[in-house]
Structure 1
Amino acid sequence: MSRSFTPARYPLLQKPLYVYTLPSDLLDILSVRSVQAAVTPEPESKTNKHSDAKPTFTSFDGASGSLGCQTCLNVTFPTLDEQRAHFKSDWHRYNAKLVLLGKGGTVTEEEFEEINDDSDASDSNPEAAGSSTEDRVTRLLRRQKLTSAGAQDGEDKDSDQEAEEAEYRRRAELRTAILWFQAKDAGNQDTGTKLVPDDTQLGIYRALIPRMISFSQPAAFLPALRAMQLPPAPARSAEFDPMEERKVTLLMVAGGHFAGMVVSLRPLNVTQSKGMKPERQEVKGAGEVRVLKHKTFHRYTTRKKQGGSQSLNDNAKSKANSAGAMLRRYGEQSLKEEIQQLMIEWEDEIHSSEKIFLRASTASKRSFWGYPGAVLEKGDERISVFPFPTRRPTLSELLRCWHELTRVKVTHLSEEAIQALDEAYIASLQPKTRPVPTAPTPAIKPIKESAPKLSAEEEAHRERRRRLIDMVRKGRIEPLLPFWQKYGASLGGVDAKAESWVDDGRGQTLLMIASQAGQEDVVKWLLEEQRADPTIVFASETSRDIPDAGEEVDGQPGKNRGRTAYDLATTKDVRNIFRRLAHDHPDWYNWIAAGHVPSGLSEEKEQEQDKKRAERRKGLKEKAKEREAKKAAELPQTPEPEMPLETIPPPTSKVLKGPQKLGGGKPGSDTGLAGLTPEMRARIERERRARAAEARLAGLGK
């Protein structure tokens, strides 16, 4: 967990720490706090005979530029090819595995040859030789483990597990972008003051460490950090040699924007002391950063909100010939030429820079190397990428990145918190065991019952049933009569219900289908000539348990339980057919109780109903006439003077614009009576009311 402290007690932490100007007192109390350094060495009983040899580390000289190997006792190489060949040799691989396994020191090349000769002599025995395909270095390490540990299988498994964990720790150390150092200050015995609080960690970016430092040996980090420190600032009266100034170059290019800057590691003196003037800073907002060179420019290379350069679009698709595409191609070429020209102008500063931080895409890197006369080379060990996300290339962004790179990260974590972070990070690097996929149990598909194949007779029967129902529903009485005479008996009779395979009308008789469709002629034919039963109850799929109409349920007659053909009738004329037959032939069926017919309808009663209906209509007409006459009587009766034609005012000569309708305007408005006398208006109004009354009376007479 993080611990709180009072910054006033520690003046060293009151302002940001600069990587290249760390106090010597602070460097003396630092130790590497890395995942790789946390590997505990094995006891002496498990080390080989060369475990007494301790690795030595030399401080890094930034100006030397020599090629070497920190693992194999600091050997050096004159060329890069020899160094690469050394890294592939068995001697280097043997020493690297010793370091990873925590065996202590490494061996020289002569000692490795002696060990190798002894191993070859013992491997002449087929039983001790092992597999012929086994790696030479692995076989040598296995043999040393067997001789030192008594050839116990349990120890082999422990060693393999330790080697695997060490490999994870090495991977964790190589993947982290920040190197952490632990600062433990015992304090001044006289004053009892400390430079930093207890459990203080300092972090710097790994990209600042020279690449020739072997990252497999964490002990080399602290000497490299000491070697990076600037010498004490010279006196103001002394002249400073610009050739000895240490520099770093920062370059960015993206989206047609370029920003470059050469920075001196010697900070600028911006504080004004007594009798001294502060150094002048030409770059606004740079603060203490001594900017030696800077340049920014922009060319149109990317279409707005589309992303990607024009060259990438041309390679992915066909070459566009639009004006915008041509401008973007010209902008790319101009940007490339300007960058190359700037690199030539900055050639001296770039060659003398310790580090070169570059942000560029794969296509944009061709502006920096890969052409004749290029200042930079692709394999230059000084080139590094920015170890954090960056924004659009501008001078302010370069200054922000420089502050982020060179300011020391300070944390205050307890040992338990650090251990938990290390274990969680190492666990994240270990391969996750995926569960063995089990074969999914195939879902049991329900067996669909295939429809039985029908015979020719059954097919013909179903076709006739569908044709019969269709003719009944549509009221086609003429083709129905001969069809029924021919196939009626084979179709089950007039009271047979439609089968379950019928699409529409299943469970209904022909009388129900005709009554529901409102076909009067078919209903009358079925009831009178075919004597269809009107008391059969229709039981739908949702009411299968409805009893018959004549059956009693709980002591009550069941006439209302279920729907008969009369209940399914949709028109009054169809229902009257049932009522007439109920009156004329009451002995045929139980029309009222079982057939749900309310009452019989005789011819006299039907004529009486028609007479009452006609009288009612006649009374309504008379009432309407009286009402209209009463309204007309209420109007003022004024004589209508005869107006000669000469007195009619001539129409005005004003031309009306727009389409004109008969009636003089909207219905109900008096715009058509404009210009008339009151007597003429009253006459026209009476005529309107009379026509409206006649129209209403004509409607009642229909």
Structure 2
Amino acid sequence: MDSKKPDDLLKRPLYLYDLPQEVLSTLTLKEDTDAQNLETNNSSISLKPSHDASPSSSSENLVGSQACSLCSLSFANVQDQRSHQKSDWHHYNLKQKLRAQKPVSEAEFEKLIGDLDESLSGSESSNTEDDEDEANRSKESTLTALLKKQATLADRNRNDNKTGEEDEDGDEDGSTNKKQRAGGKPPLMWFTSPLLPTNTYFGVYRAIFTSEESRNGGEIVDIVKKKQLDPIPAPKPSPDGNLTPAAYKGPHIFLCMIGGGHFAAMVVSLAPRQTKHGSAGPMNREATVLAHKTFHRYTTRRKQGGSQSANDNAKGNAHSAGSSIRRYNEQALTDEVRLLLQDWKGLLDTSELLFIRATGATNRRTLFGPYEGQVLRANDPRIRGFPFSTRRATQNELMRSFIELTRLKVREIDPTKEAKAQQEPPAKTTPAKPSKPATPKLTEEEETALLHTTQLQAFIRRSKLPALLSYLKTNDLTPDFPFQPPSTQQNHHAPTPLHLAASLNSAPLVAGLLAKAGANPTIPNGEGKTPFELAGDRPTRDAFRVARGELGEDKWDWEAARVPPAMTRAEAEGRDARERAESERKEVERRKAEELRLQREGPKATGSGAAAGRSMMDGGKMRSAQEKREEEARGMTPEQRMKLDRERRARAAEERFKKMRAGGGG
């Protein structure tokens, strides 16, 4: 590779397996590379940008300020940092800090959660797929379950200590805690080079080396030199679509992620790809993928978190249609993954390293069994975890992880800021937030009025006259109770129960409020209209006129209420009967005329016209499925409609599952 200036070296990504000769010849392991200060002292860290040939990937090279000092992690971009800060692992380390205990590594945290079998919010979340369903998980998360378990164990240990009196001085507990809290080495190894500016270092992930290589710190530079690979031409696919056999002979690594019903796996060649000019090109979208596959099955309990098998183990088998589908999908996903691993057995056996993320007992059992024909072994020394925060299992996430693993990080330390940070603790500053108008605190009377308003309006909308009258009497409320707050558009238009009942064309409620509750029909709304003027159909208006006749002219100023002359209930019912009879007569005449027209024209009307004719001949009795659902849900509250919809979907899912089982059995 041609020699370049130091500044040029920092403007392009540095691939670990194809480093420039100038870097290899000057690379030296930093003496305190295993110290935590470089990883955790965020206040003194700034970044040296490393630019990629592709503008879209430039942000992925920023490492340093996007870091978590608590968990000793660095991130490629701000999005990864935010994702990590929402994870259960980060939240657990925050709890550890509050309890004056040391944070744990990601591998240690996965061991702690053990068989809880819940998906981590940070590693399983995504900003691009299924956000609504995955973002609304149950409050009973992995972190909550783990903390409860630890609290229970702590109580047991405390009781045992009180009984035995042997750990009173704390020595035994202290040694145990030290062993439990002992953190591993930092995820990054640091190297110096005279090519870099002052106080700037190269970082390489420790996971990319074998255990023996990482222990031989003095020889690690020679190991890096041995890992250099010659660029190879881009492999060409064979006629069957696969790569030529020569592409599979070089060194390669296996990457795999599984969680939340998502599975993604990839085998990537480590050899850099050669460009037309004879040099290796940029890694972004230039890596040679030897094999890749993704699966997704609906296995997680939406808005509740965790897999169906974990819920069954905790509470027993559920018998809903959704649980049966999730159990079926869990087994199907397990079969698909194991079949794929068997197909890739040759590639996996020859892989230099195996990077695997599988959190939870169910996911680990899918990969590591035991089962007949098992491919992966949990005790394989090549297995590594991802030493940084990861998102949902997708092919793009695997490629991002591969690039993050194999690139050199460039980090600059500002000694001035570091010394200042050591002398005085950093002041806690909170970002300025735009001032919001303070919400006025409601008095007890105002809160009670809001509660009454909600209850009364719910009774009126559901046409619950007995419940409405009982609520008014029980709470000693006037039938003209003014709805609160009056400033809303709804309460401005319908400020009293009688206004609202009239506007909803509820004749029985109008009659009951006037005759039984004694509501005042003369009260105007914010627009100056009386309840009668809000009535939109004849039965509701007749209810006002019948009330005027039954209550008498002296009861209210009916002229001020703008109610027409009184009428008896018999007159109202007689007019309704005459109108129904007239409507039926007209309908019979219309149907006869339609039959005559069809006889004259013959069977010409087809399709939608015929359907319309049949609907008209039946007097409009044929209704669509949507009309039937609307009729069934009429008069229900939003909660009742939601419950009805859930029951419909459950019945539909159960029918699909029955057909699925019948098809499988056949």
**TM tier relative to shorter chain:** 0.3 to 0.5
Compare CA radii of gyration and give the structure with the larger one.
Answer: 1
Normalised to the residue count of structure 2, the TM-score between the two structures is: 0.38
Greater relative contact order (Cα < 8 A, sep 6+): 2
Normalised to the residue count of structure 1, the TM-score between the two structures is: 0.37
Bigger proportion of residues as helix: 2
